[in-house]
């Protein structure tokens, strides 16, 4: 899908057209909760000391063009990815072999593994695990053959705090609204058709996943009202994204949920003798709820654990009878090292988890080449590639982190490695850069209109509830598994990072086109 396939998209806008379009975007977005808390650079804390203001989430004014076949491929393969990562999370022996390479050189991964061991020693009392996953892709433009072909390549797989499921549904509604009220000029509506705009049902579908776990928990053991607990960061700019899931959970399934700042976990929760988790709201501390499901929207970054009591809080929650989303092992399954082990060329590991050769081959086709930085043959080749500016220019260096803003790109890699003790190199993976086709769009961020070339990243959500089992003779089973909608994030083509919450991308939706 070369850029010149639609050279007038998006169209040039007159000042009146732009003003009308932006006004509609601002008003619709705030009215429908397509919003975030403003960044300090946009609204100074002195102007909003109570943190009550909201602003339009960074959005694109037009839906971005996206190849129809690549979009359908991403949705179709999500159930296989759900199955794959649930199987990894159930295979403690295999996961331990991967994690042990990181424990001595990555303190955060080491603390996560120690937490798992502490829960294991006490005895796991909950056999169910929930995954609200997101698999992220970019369209790769391959010019190595006789012509240019397009295919979908995975950027990463997210097992914890997979964000923007709430806002993604809203932005696809926004673009549909703008088309319906003729906010787009005729040159754009020649391309944007109602049947080319794909609605994302991620809000409802992810909330349904939480409801399924809530029901699977069973009857109250204490006779108290049951609830779901959202464990969140504070302050949280992305609060409205999470609120959409909370409201859908209540309105569609009748399930009550509460928000608990991670650092207040030990203050507002306690464990019964059988490790049933109880929650007391700060506004009514004498009233106790029994927690069925703990949904982590915090705890994925070392920044969430500034004090030792934060690690005690994570252990406290992991030891509980509540279903975790994700469990500590599922969290660890999302390490970049796991992605590297699966995707390293000629790796035998994928077949361990996906017995169906056809399914495994479809998953394999989405892998970009990824290499370790260790003493293996693949690792030695990766070190050679990463330490020379000419060859490093085709790669990205990734640590075992989530949340955006953590990677090192292209020619910056050799100097980064030079400044890092070589003993710590195995904590990183080297991934071949995905080269997307050029596109253009207009982004509205912090009250400013930004035009130019853009890069799109497709995230496909998945819901998976499984029983962990107790070993080789009882390996567990998947109870529920479905694809749960999509997210499109778009960034300027001069930005390497794509995280919206991290300040790089904008929320977008797909205008599907045939190649």
* Residues acting as catalytic residues: 134, 156, 158, 163, 336, 398, 402-403, 489
* Residue 163 labeled ligand binder: yes
DSSP state of 427: G
Other CB atoms within a 10 A radius of the CB of residue 491 amount to 22
297 is in an annotated binding site: yes
The residues, ordered by sequence, that sit 6+ positions from 134 with a Cβ below 8 Å of its Cβ are 157, 158, 162, 165, 459, 460, 461, 462, 487
For 335, the 3-state DSSP assignment is coil
497 labeled part of a ligand binding site: yes
Q: What is the Cα gyration radius of the chain?
A: 23
Q: How far apart are CA 181 and CA 176, in angstroms?
A: 9
How far apart (Å, rounded) are the C-alpha atoms in residues 490 and 443?
A: 8
Q: 224 with 289: CB under 8 angstroms?
A: yes
158 has binding-site annotation: yes
Residue 398 is assigned to a ligand binding site: yes
Is 502 annotated for ligand binding? no
Q: Is 290 known as a binding-site position?
A: no
Check the annotation: does 489 bind a ligand: yes
The answer to whether the annotation marks 273 as part of a ligand binding site is: no
Check whether 400 is labelled as a binding-site residue.
yes
Give residues with Cβ within 8 angstroms of 19, minimum separation 6.
Answer: none
314 is in an annotated binding site: no
Query: φ, ψ for residue 409 (rounded to 5)?
Result: -120, 145
Residue 237 annotated as part of some ligand binding site: yes
The backbone torsions φ and ψ at residue 406, rounded to the nearest 5 degrees and listed phi first, read -110, -10
Q: Is the dihedral of CA 79, 84, 85, 89 positive or negative?
A: positive
Is 334 known as a binding-site position? no
370 is in an annotated binding site: no
Q: Is 72 annotated as a binding residue?
A: no
Q: Are 271 and 278 spatial neighbours (Cβ–Cβ below 8 Å)?
A: yes
Q: Give CA–CA dist 213/329, Å, rounded.
A: 17
List binding-site positions for substrate: 134, 160-163, 236-238, 242, 297-300, 489, 500-501
Q: Which residues are annotated as a binding site?
A: 134, 156, 158, 160-163, 236-238, 242, 297-300, 336, 398-407, 409, 431-434, 457, 489, 491, 497, 500-501
Summarize the annotated binding site for ATP as residue ranges.
156, 336, 398-407, 409, 431-434, 457, 491, 497
Known binding-site residues for Mg(2+) equal: 156, 158, 402
């Amino acid at each position: 899908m070369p850029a010149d396939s639609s050279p007038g998209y998006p169209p040039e806008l007159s000042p009146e057209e732009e003003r009308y379009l932006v006004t509609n975007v601002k008003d619709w977005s705030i009215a429908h909760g397509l919003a975030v808390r403003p960044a300090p650079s946009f609204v100074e804390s002195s102007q909003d000391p109570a943190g009550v203001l909201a602003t339009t989430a960074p959005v694109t004014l037009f839906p971005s063009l996206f190849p129809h076949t690549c979009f359908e491929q991403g949705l179709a393969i999500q159930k296989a990815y759900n199955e794959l990562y649930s199987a990894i999370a159930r295979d403690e022996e295999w996961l331990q072999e991967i994690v042990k390479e990181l424990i001595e050189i990555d303190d955060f991964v080491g603390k996560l593994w120690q937490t798992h061991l502490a829960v294991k020693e006490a005895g796991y009392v909950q056999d169910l695990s929930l995954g609200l996953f997101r698999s992220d892709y970019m369209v790769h433009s391959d010019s190595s053959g006789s012509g240019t072909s397009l295919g979908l390549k995975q950027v990463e797989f997210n097992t914890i705090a997979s964000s923007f499921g709430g806002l993604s549904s809203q932005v696809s509604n926004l673009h549909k609204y703008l088309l319906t009220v003729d906010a787009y000029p005729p040159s754009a509506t020649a391309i944007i058709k109602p049947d080319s705009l794909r609605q994302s049902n991620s809000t409802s579908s992810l909330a349904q996943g939480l409801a399924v776990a809530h029901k699977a928990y069973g009857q109250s053991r204490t006779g108290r009202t049951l609830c779901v607990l959202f464990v969140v960061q504070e302050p949280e700019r992305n609060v409205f994204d999470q609120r959409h899931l909370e409201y859908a959970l209540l309105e569609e399934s009748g399930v009550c949920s509460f928000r608990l700042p991670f650092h207040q976990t030990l203050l507002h929760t306690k464990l019964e003798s059988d490790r049933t988790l109880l929650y007391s709201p700060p506004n009514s501390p004498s009233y106790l709820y029994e927690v069925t499901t703990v949904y982590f929207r915090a705890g994925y970054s070392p920044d969430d654990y500034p004090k030792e009591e934060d690690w005690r809080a994570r252990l406290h929650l992991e030891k509980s009878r509540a279903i975790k989303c994700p469990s500590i092992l599922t969290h660890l399954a999302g390490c970049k090292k796991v992605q590297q082990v699966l995707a390293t060329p000629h790796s035998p590991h994928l077949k361990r988890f996906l017995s169906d050769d056809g399914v495994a081959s479809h998953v394999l086709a989405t892998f970009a080449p990824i290499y370790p930085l260790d003493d293996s043959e693949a690792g030695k080749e990766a070190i050679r590639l990463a330490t020379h500016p000419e060859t490093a220019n085709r790669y990205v260096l990734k640590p075992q982190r989530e949340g955006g803003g953590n990677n090192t790109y292209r020619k910056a890699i050799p100097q980064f490695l030079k400044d890092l003790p070589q003993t710590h190199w195995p904590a990183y993976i080297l991934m071949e850069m995905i080269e997307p086709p050029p596109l253009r769009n207009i982004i509205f961020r912090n009250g400013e209109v930004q035009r130019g070339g853009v890069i799109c990243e497709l995230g496909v959500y998945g819901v998976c509830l499984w029983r962990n089992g107790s070993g080789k003779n009882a390996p567990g089973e998947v109870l529920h598994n479905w694809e749960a909608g999509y997210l499109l994030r778009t960034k300027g083509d001069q930005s390497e990072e794509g995280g919206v919450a991290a300040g790089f991308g904008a929320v977008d939706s797909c205008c599907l086109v045939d190649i």
